[in-house]
Amino acid sequence: MPYRTCAIVNPNAGGGRLRRQWPRLLRRLVALTDGLSVQWTTAPRSATVQTRAALRNGFDRILAIGGDGTLHEVVNGFFEERTAIAPEGTLVHLPFGTGVDFRRSLGIPTGLSSVDQLTSPKVRRIDLIRTLVTTDTGPQTRYVANIASFGLGGLVVQSMQHLRGSALVGGRLSYLGAILRGLATHVPPLVDLAVDDAQIGRVRIHNVAVANGHTFGGGLPIAPRARIDDGRLDVVVLRDLPIRTLLRHAHRFYRGTHPGLDGVEIASGRRVVALPVDAPSVPMDLDGEPFGRLPAVFELVPDALRVQG
């Protein structure tokens, strides 16, 4: 039985690259789908609203066409608070952004080559992270496909917002530049951290990554052992190390060989609780998007979403 397919498209993805390639992409999509509907995103969070509407109107396959931010919004459209809108609905990610970190965990190519997923018989379920995060309007629930982080990671994605829509944003060099700028001004906060029933304790941190996927920041494998279907979260704690130490070992972070370094701790579990102690605001990054601050709770939702490809 063929899918009813709705494509949620961010026309500004990849600094405009997607818009330029759209005629070729559309021809391939039409050739590989029956009854394709196309929805263009128009504002922040519009992809979430469009995805919910499509699922409620009987579409059973959603294409998230854009970067990790578009994917994040589409994934959240599969849920209303703690309830799946269409439990058998299927997601296909066609990565056309610049950072596109989650596609590394999915093992898929970027750009036009990713359309071949539409012919794949492979459909699997992946885990998600359900995050209860503090915002100016109160606690909000967000679903995270890849990585949620707080501390320096939150500052980095905030600093890159002014480049959104530019071909300059994304990729290793621009993220590395943002990390170096963040380190120059970042004051490591003290946080209380618990993973499942194990109290890690009161820790002064540069950053904590709660990982479902393994890569963030334009290709940095912060959680090299994380898998999106293994039923656990990897929690990577980067303590308050001297900047010169971080710079000396920067190559190890990009090679994924940083586990075992002094000041780097990795735990695993299904529920993480993080509370601020001495900082008025510890910013958060959800799938590469700035969103909210501590305190926060992160819970694994196993087998939460069907993915084709």
Q: What CA–CA distances, in Å, run from 290 to 103, 190, 241, 260?
A: 20, 20, 24, 29
In this prediction, residue 7 carries a pLDDT of 98
- Comparing 82 with 176, which gets the higher pLDDT? 82
Residue 108 has pLDDT above 80, yes or no: yes
**In degrees, to the nearest 5, what angle opens at C-alpha 110 toward C-alphas 257 and 106?**
55
Q: Is 107 exposed, middle or buried (0-12, 13-18, 19+ CB in 10 A)?
A: exposed
Q: What single-letter amino acid sits at 175?
A: Y
Give the confidence band of 32 by pLDDT, cuts at 50, 70, 90. very high
Cβ 127 vs Cβ 229: under 8 Å: yes
| Residue range 246-272: mean pLDDT, rounded | 94
Residue (of 240, 148, 244) closest to 188 by Cα position = 240
Residue 218 has pLDDT above 90, yes or no: no
Residue 168 has pLDDT above 50, yes or no: no
CB atoms within 10 A of CB 209: 26
Residue 167 has pLDDT above 50, yes or no: no
Give the confidence band of 263 by pLDDT, cuts at 50, 70, 90. very high
Residue 207 has pLDDT above 90, yes or no: yes
**Domain ranges across the chain:** 5-120, 129-303
Instruction: Give pTM, 2 decimals.
Output: 0.93
Residue (of 247, 195, 268, 257) closest to 221 by Cα position = 257
pLDDT tens across 125-144, in order? 999 999 999 999 999 999 99
Cβ 168 vs Cβ 174: under 8 Å: yes
Backbone φ and ψ for 10, nearest 5 degrees, come out as -95, 105
Least reliable range by pLDDT among 39-48, 161-170, 224-233: 161-170
In this prediction, residue 198 carries a pLDDT of 82
CATH 3.40.50.300 fits 129-303, yes or no: no
CB-side neighbour CA atoms (13 Å) of 25: 22
Residue 180 has pLDDT above 90, yes or no: no
In this prediction, residue 179 carries a pLDDT of 74
In this prediction, residue 164 carries a pLDDT of 54
In this prediction, residue 156 carries a pLDDT of 82
Backbone φ and ψ for 197, nearest 5 degrees, come out as -95, 5
Cβ 12 vs Cβ 19: under 8 Å: yes
| Residue range 277-287: mean pLDDT, rounded | 94
Residue (of 160, 264, 252) closest to 206 by Cα position = 264
How much is the mean pLDDT over the chain? 92
* DSSP-derived 3-state class of residue 169: coil
The packing angle between helices 68-77 and 46-56, to 10°, is: 40
For a pLDDT cut of 90, what percent of the chain falls above it?
Answer: 78
Cβ 68 vs Cβ 97: under 8 Å: yes
Lookup result for tokens 């997923």: 117
d(CA 25, CA 28): 5
In this prediction, residue 163 carries a pLDDT of 54
Class of domain 5-120: alpha beta
Q: Do domains 5-120 and 129-303 have the same CATH topology?
A: no
Lookup result for tokens 């479902």: 212
In this prediction, residue 166 carries a pLDDT of 46
